């Protein structure tokens, strides 16, 4: 099977517009989440305290995230597999294993996925190569947004829909339900409240927003030189959006040289550290960000004020720095990664095209935990090939990421 992905390489026509001052509010205590479009402003401002877990709508994804930024806690039950469902009780709260939370670098790695052990283990279940179903093999203990404790079993994902089972720790209030994620393919995720037994449609269509202002977990540096998981307020970017950070800039509200900075598809490129707390919050005044949206327009974002938890107000300036004129895709570039699936020991061939000697390209390979296991620069302009050997890899699922001039495309690859 050969998979094709088109890389859009844009020719930019410089367009300078007057910067616009903006304000969004997460409300006191950061109880809201804001989805924002660089072109159209705030798209949706919605409660962030009515859901516990979120399921990826992508038919080829296994990702399940938790509302960890707002207090949801997830632990794997380590004293047995799914056959131990009836053995769990409140005494198990004294023996919880490591707290699992979403990575803040990719939407692909949710808290449930962190439990994966390699190969075709997706963290909460195992992928069946014959049926293409994921069958749940783990039980989790979860603290909900309302601070109640439940046991949870994601029984399967079949044809894009998730079957889950959960109950109070003593087995009471047993719920078996299906999350029909296939009905929400225009979204990145569909959400669920364990306490209310309710599916929640709470995010805009994935093509309508660029960044989101929200609470999320990150590894926060301590004064002892270590890092601990900590809930922060910041900005995460949508899939397909790349961001470049420009620091040590004397006049960030007038700075336009985005080409001097590297664009990244890590969703926390903006993140939370554009501010520091010194009795009150202070904006770092030599910092701005360049955001390339899905139409390949370049926007500059500069923060100007942050009130903190008292109001949840965030003020920032946006300016369109460069608009685009996109050529016909067939004239520009095709990316092909094949064979897919590949046999262990068989080379994965990447077919790509750099438009000129000034183009820059990289290919990277990640495992299911988001760990980078291969990186290589792509060279030569024109249509060419790059091979990735698989002899040293394990059988399982990987992500190959191609970055050409800041345009990033990612594909899932299976190695048998």
Q: Is the pLDDT of residue 248 over 50?
A: yes
CB 141 within 8 A of CB 104: no
Question: What is the average per-residue pLDDT within 281-288?
Answer: 96
Give the burial class of 66: count Cβ atoms within 10 A of its Cβ; 0-12 exposed, 13-18 middle, 19 or more buried.
buried
Please tell me the distance from the alpha carbon of residue 112 to that of residue 126, in angstroms, as a whole number.
Answer: 12
* Mean per-residue pLDDT of the chain: 87
Tokens read off for 27: 């409300």
Higher pLDDT, 3 or 289: 289
pLDDT of residue 224: 79
Please tell me the distance from the alpha carbon of residue 367 to that of residue 373, in angstroms, as a whole number.
Answer: 7
pLDDT of residue 139: 96
Give the burial class of 229: count Cβ atoms within 10 A of its Cβ; 0-12 exposed, 13-18 middle, 19 or more buried.
middle
Residues linked to residue 313 through DSSP beta bridges, in sequence order: 25
* CA nearest to 65, candidates 153, 250, 192, 249: 192
Question: What is the average per-residue pLDDT within 248-267?
Answer: 93
Question: What is the average per-residue pLDDT within 233-259?
Answer: 95
Confidence of residue 323 (pLDDT cuts 50, 70, 90): confident
pLDDT of residue 330: 34
**Range in 100-104, 151-155, 220-224 the model is least confident about:** 220-224
Domains and CATH numbers, the chain: 11-47+220-325 (no CATH), 53-200 (no CATH), 333-415 (2.60.40.1930)
CB 145 within 8 A of CB 152: no
Higher pLDDT, 251 or 414: 251
Q: Is the pLDDT of residue 171 over 90?
A: yes
pLDDT of residue 130: 86
pLDDT of residue 406: 64
Residue 9 DSSP class = P
Q: Is the pLDDT of residue 9 over 70?
A: no
pLDDT of residue 401: 81
Gyration radius (Cα) of the chain, Å? 22
pLDDT of residue 334: 52
What are the start-end ranges of the E strands in 159-312? 161-168, 175-179, 189-193, 198-200, 211-221, 227-237, 242-246, 275-277, 281-283, 288-292, 298-306
Higher pLDDT, 227 or 22: 22
Tokens read off for 198: 């309710």
pLDDT, tens digit (0-9, with 9 covering 90-100), for 56-93 = 999 888 999 999 999 999 999 988 899 999 999 999 99
Q: Is the pLDDT of residue 257 over 80?
A: yes
State the number of CA atoms in the 13 A half-sphere of 207 facing the CB: 3
Residues linked to residue 126 through DSSP beta bridges, in sequence order: 121, 135
CB 53 within 8 A of CB 72: yes
Higher pLDDT, 384 or 412: 412
Higher pLDDT, 222 or 313: 313
Confidence of residue 204 (pLDDT cuts 50, 70, 90): very high
pLDDT of residue 198: 97
pLDDT, tens digit (0-9, with 9 covering 90-100), for 358-394 = 666 788 888 876 778 898 887 766 667 788 999 888 8
Q: Is the pLDDT of residue 1 over 60?
A: no
pLDDT of residue 223: 76
* CA nearest to 26, candidates 65, 57, 69: 69
Tokens read off for 210: 């660029």
Q: Is the pLDDT of residue 6 over 60?
A: no
Confidence of residue 407 (pLDDT cuts 50, 70, 90): low
pLDDT, tens digit (0-9, with 9 covering 90-100), for 23-55 = 999 999 999 999 999 999 999 999 999 999 999
Tokens read off for 57: 């709508």
């Amino acid at each position: 099977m050969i998979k094709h992905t088109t890389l859009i390489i844009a020719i930019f026509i410089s367009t300078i517009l007057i910067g616009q001052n903006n304000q969004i509010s997460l409300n006191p205590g950061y109880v809201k989440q804001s989805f924002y479009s660089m072109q159209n402003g705030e798209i949706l401002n919605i409660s962030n305290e009515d859901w516990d877990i979120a399921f990826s709508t992508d038919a080829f994804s296994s990702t399940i995230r938790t509302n960890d930024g707002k207090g949801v806690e997830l632990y794997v039950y380590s004293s047995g597999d799914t056959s131990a469902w009836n053995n769990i009780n409140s005494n198990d709260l004294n023996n919880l294993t490591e707290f699992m939370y979403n990575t803040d670098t990719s939407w692909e790695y949710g808290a449930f996925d962190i439990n994966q052990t390699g190969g075709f283990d997706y963290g909460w279940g195992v992928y069946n190569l014959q049926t293409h179903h994921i069958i749940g093999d783990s039980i989790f203990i979860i603290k909900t947004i309302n601070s109640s404790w439940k046991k949870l079993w994601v029984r399967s994902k079949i044809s894009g829909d998730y079957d889950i089972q959960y109950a109070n720790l003593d087995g009471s209030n047993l719920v078996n339900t299906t999350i029909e994620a296939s009905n929400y393919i225009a979204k990145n995720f569909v959400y669920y409240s364990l306490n209310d037994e309710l599916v929640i449609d709470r995010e805009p269509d994935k093509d309508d927003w660029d960044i989101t202002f929200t609470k999320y977990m990150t590894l926060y540096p301590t004064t002892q030189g270590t890092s601990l998981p900590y809930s922060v307020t910041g900005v995460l970017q949508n899939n397909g959006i790349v961001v470049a950070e420009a620091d040590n800039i004397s006049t960030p509200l007038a700075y336009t040289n985005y080409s001097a900075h590297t664009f990244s598809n890590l969703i926390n490129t903006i993140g939370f550290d554009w501010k520091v707390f010194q009795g009150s919050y202070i904006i770092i005044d030599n910092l701005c960000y360049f955001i390339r949206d899905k139409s390949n327009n370049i926007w500059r974002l500069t923060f100007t004020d942050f009130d903190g938890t008292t109001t949840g107000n965030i003020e920032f300036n946006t300016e369109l720095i460069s608009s685009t004129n996109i050529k016909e895709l067939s004239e520009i570039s095709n990316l092909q990664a094949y064979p897919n699936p590949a046999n262990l020991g068989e080379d994965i061939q990447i077919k790509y095209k750099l438009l000129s000697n000034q183009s820059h390209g990289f290919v990277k390979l990640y495992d299911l935990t988001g760990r980078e296991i291969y990186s290589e620069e792509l060279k030569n302009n024109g249509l060419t090939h790059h091979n990735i050997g698989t002899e040293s890899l394990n059988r399982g699922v990987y992500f190959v990421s191609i970055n050409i001039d800041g345009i990033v495309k990612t594909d899932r690859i299976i190695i048998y």
